[in-house]
Structure 1
Amino acid sequence: MRSPIDVEKAHHYDRCRESVDSDDYPSPPSIDEAKQSLTENTASAPPPPPPPYSAFSINRRRFILGVVTAAGFFGPLCGAVYLPSLKLFQHVFKTSETAVNGTVSIYQLVFAIAPLFGAAASDVGGRKTVYIVGFGSFLIANTLLALLPAHIVLLYFLRIFQAFGSCIVFSVGAGTVADITEPARRASALAWFLMGPQLGPILGPLIGGQFATESRWRWVFGILSLTSLPVYLGILLSMPETLRSLVGNGAAVAHQPCISIPKFRTKPCIDSKVSKAPRPSFRKFMHLLKYPPHLIVSINGALQFAGLYGMYISFPTIWQDGYNWTTAEVGYAFLCPGIAMFITSIFVGRFSDYMRKKAIANSSDGKIAPERRIAMQIPAFVVAGAGKIMFGWFTQNRVHPAAGLFSAAVASAGVSVVFVTSISYQTECDPAQKASLVALGGCLRNIAAAICAAIMVSCFRGLGWGWAFTGLGILDLLCIPGIILIMVRGVKFREALKREQQLNK
């Protein structure tokens, strides 16, 4: 017979066994049950956030924007700073007026054509290599012009490299801005970038006029060399590669040191799914014009810029002959349209991004068509045309100079609106060829400007200032139907472009 202690131990053992066998301690789940539980938890978890459009920090993006803006400033500046010395160079280089004017023509010709090849190469091989080679040739050409003996053959030869090195930076710079700036803020960034090309023709005559003497003419090129050197060093040592078909959003290069050894070739760091531009060729480049919006926007910009350039080159004749102004006073007159373009670019860029953001918030799917960017071009063409017409008649009738300067500012403001919105629109329509599209527009604009410069004197003599600028204003108004066509059929045009791109892959 067991003792009471043994009986109590037996009861305690039974209670522990019942507790272990109860539901308080369930058996381990099976493999199928574990998989089902994992699937349910994964489905209920929120999706990971998408990667940022650009992995570069805000300060790094500002640095890149500042460098490309400064680089884009030198092309137009180099062309404008040269003009006050044309008469002087006839004596310095011991040649004729026709020969000296030929150096201006060859600069404009190279300035129009070279970006086609530089921009196409940057869309395939990378931005930084084109910057290093192009801007380096600009720096070397100006240094040699400031140091070598005065000879007209050297002037022609080095002017070619001046134009080549400075002009491709503008088209490639616009591609860089689009690489690092999401579409929601792209117009604002491009507005700042366009400050360089817009201020160059305004400040050039002011700077060049200070050195238009026989003892100081070399400083026309020396100043360009000295001021471009820090910009080139910034590109060489601190500028990262931004081409999205090579580095994506920049995550692979965003954390590189601020100063690093330059590389002339960047190996692709992303997969092959990212859209790439076609290999550069003249046929493929001209193929861009088969897309109606590119053709319309490029031709419109060329016609409008021709009128603006015609107004700029007429300033010395109008203000000196018509109002008896001095050369210095004419130089100060350029500030009026320049300041107007500066203010308008900043305002339009921010306003365009604000309207885009507002439209996205009101849309059902969070997407909007790029054509909304260029809707404001319709009033801009009206404003630009009206400004040019007023400028012609006010100056022909010798109205107070303030009226002519105000009209020039109005025309420049309208042109600025078209510049900012056109580049924003084109970079959103065809993101794989951003730099090539900007180069195409620049080529047509410079060709139109060269033609306008060649015929403006004859137009003034045959028609007078009033009717000559009326014709240029009418060209602005003729651009409006093309903008309406893009707004109405833009969606179908883009769908056709996507189908064509899919077939060519």
Structure 2
Amino acid sequence: MSSIDKDETTIITELNEKIISIDHIDDSIRHSHTNKKEDFIHQHHQEIMSSTKEKVSRQHWWQFWKVDLEQMAMKPIDFPRRTKRLILMTIALATLIAPISTTIYMPALVTIQTALNTDDTTMNATLSAFTFTIAVCPIFWSALGDAYGRRRVYLISFIIYIFGSVCCALSVNIGMFIAFRIVSAIGSSSVMSMGAGTIADVFAPSERGRAFAMYATGPLLGPALGPIIGGYLNLGLGWRSDLAFVAIYGVIIWLCILFFLPETTRYPPALPGQLPLKRSLKNPFSALMYFKYTNIWLSIAYTGLSFLFFYMVNTTFTRTLTVQYRLSTGTVGLCYLPLAGGAIVGNQIGGRLSDRIYNRRVAAAGENQIYPEMRISGIVIALSVGLACCGYVAYGWCITKNVHYAFALVAIFFCKY
């Protein structure tokens, strides 16, 4: 733990001890001097909070490691609507980082393979290494976010991401490229785990459906935007410009977090009447215990299979259009648009239906019988899975029969609907 964290914990502990000692004043003194006691508590509270502000409160915009005590006094769910929208916008833009970084150089795979003098298998390993890393690292970032606050972890992780992306752009061999792809994946994976927690902190259950729909737009839109941007950058400036672009985007997101994203983590007090103390760092793997709950592992399995099929198509999509249909890298990038369009349309419809179903069931059941699964509809899930399966089968048939690629693009629109 840093010295600043120790100072903050020590000061808050001191305040709690003062309050407890005051609560143990003799009954006779307490009853006869109630006003004096309240004045005494208020005076000591102000003194200690004043010294706390000097030591741990953020006095300047660049002191991101310090706490904004005025905002920490508010519940995130009570933030002004403008603040909530800025938080949602920042998190949604941040979620674009990982999927864009995964796919931005896909149209340039053959170009990078030639430049770094490697083979198809090793080149595909750069995608696998990045994807595997962003699947594993979030449990570590979430543990750090719970212990030290999400805002700090976001800022530190994006510095790691920017460093890794810059080094990828400067890579001189395939080993260096893979190594720093892993580094950039470590940095970009923080928002994958903590973003949902930030949204849940800020929005009430009745409005989370639309908020999560906007939050999920990043992971769905990124795989389509990445190839479009990367394809034309590769044509005009070469493959290294793809990695330079995501590094610059990372800097922009870092600045948005610095200016627009307050700390939303709140810690419960140890005892009634005390100020909250910080949590200790927990074992990151303790989160795996949630797999014992059926509703959680079913949700994870469904999402995992969805992304498995998506990336199976995504990793072969570029080579299929380039080799089989002889399209340029810029045109190949544009062919990802139907995939993004289907994902965004389905995501927005699903989010709105989720809120409508949840609010209707809450109104019918009453406030005392609310549970999260009330927003799930078997009919909506069945329709979604059915459309996706039809899309994948139709896409595979079009590619196998070598029909015009326009039909394959229509089919792929429904794969992430």
**Normalized against structure 1, the TM-score is what?**
0.61
Structure-1 separation of matches of 2:157 and 2:110? 29
CA shift for structure 1 position 64: 0.7
2:294 matches 1:289: no
1:70 counterpart letter in structure 2: L
| Residues 105 and 239 in structure 2, CA contact (< 8 A), matched pair in contact too | no
Instruction: Tell whether 2:391 aligns with 1:368.
Output: no
Whole-Å separation in 2 of the counterparts to 1:89 and 1:269: 59
Structure ID, larger Rg: 1
Matched, 1:176 2:198: yes
Say which of 129, 138, 159 aligns to 1:136.
159
1:450 maps to which residue?
none
Question: Does residue 1:280 correspond to 2:315, yes or no?
Answer: no
1:334, 1:269 → 2: CA distance?
54
Match among 36, 53, 77 for residue 100 of structure 2? 77
Supply the distance in 1 between the matched residues of 2:186 and 2:270 (Cα, whole angstroms). Answer: 27
Q: Percent of pairs identical after alignment?
A: 28
For residues 172 and 157 of structure 2, the distance between their equivalents in structure 1, rounded to whole angstroms, comes to 24
TM-score, scaled to structure 2 = 0.73
Q: Where do 5+ consecutive residues of structure 2 fail to align? A: 1-73
Retained in 2: the 8 A contact 1:92–1:214?
A: no
SS of 2:376 mapped into structure 1? helix
TM alignment of 1:295-374, pairs within 5 A: 295-365=297-367, 367-374=369-376
- Find out whether 1:113 has 2:115 as its counterpart: no
**Correspondences of 1:228-243 after superposition (within 5 Å):** 228-243=250-265
Match of 1:388 in 2: 392
Any conservation in 1 of the 2:134–2:189 contact (CA below 8 Å)?
Answer: yes
- Counterpart of 1:115 in structure 2: which amino acid? P
Structure 1 Cα separation of the partners of residues 271 and 236 of structure 2: 54
Deviation at 1:331, TM superposition (A): 2.0
Q: Which residue of 2 aligns with 1:411?
A: 415
Matched, 1:186 2:208: yes
In 2, the alpha carbon distance for the partners of 1:226 and 1:360 equals: 44
Shift of 1:186: 0.5
Instruction: Kindly state the Cα deviation for residue 79 of structure 1 after the two structures are TM-superposed.
Output: 1.1
For residue 200 of structure 1, the aligned residue among 222, 227, 230 is 222
For the 8 Å contact 1:117–1:280, the answer to whether it is kept is no
Shift of the 71–316 alpha-carbon distance from structure 1 to 2, 3 Å rule, reads: same
Segment drifting more, 349-358 vs 52-61: 52-61
Contact 1:115 1:167 in 2 (8 A): yes
CA contact (8 A) 2:103 2:226 kept: yes
Q: Deviations over 1:54-98 (max 9, x none)?
A: 121100011111111111101110110122233222343344544
Q: CA deviation at 1:268?
A: 9.8
Written as runs of structure 1 = structure 2, the 5 A alignment for 1:58-69 is 58-69=81-92
Q: Which whole-Å CA distance do the structure 1 matches of 2:145 and 2:172 have between them?
A: 35
Q: Distance in 2 between matches of 1:165 and 1:268?
A: 33
SS in 2 for 1:240: coil
Mapped contact 2:143–2:284 kept (Cα < 8 A): no
Cα distance change, pair 58–409 in 1 and its aligned pair in 2 (3 A) = same
Equivalent runs, 1:425-504 vs 2, <5 Å: none
Match of 2:248 in 1: 226
C-alpha contact 1:75 1:166 (8 A) present in aligned 2 = yes
Deviation by residue 1:369-421 (Cα, 9 ceiling, x = unmatched) = 322322232322222222222222243234454432222112210xxxxxxxx
The range that moved more, 63-72 or 215-224, is 215-224
Indicate if the aligned counterparts of 2:108 and 2:230 stay in contact, CA closer than 8 A: yes
Could you list the per-position Cα deviations for residues 439-472 of structure 1 after superposition, in whole angstroms to 9, with x for gaps in the alignment? xxxxxxxxxxxxxxxxxxxxxxxxxxxxxxxxxx
One-letter code of the match for 1:338?
A
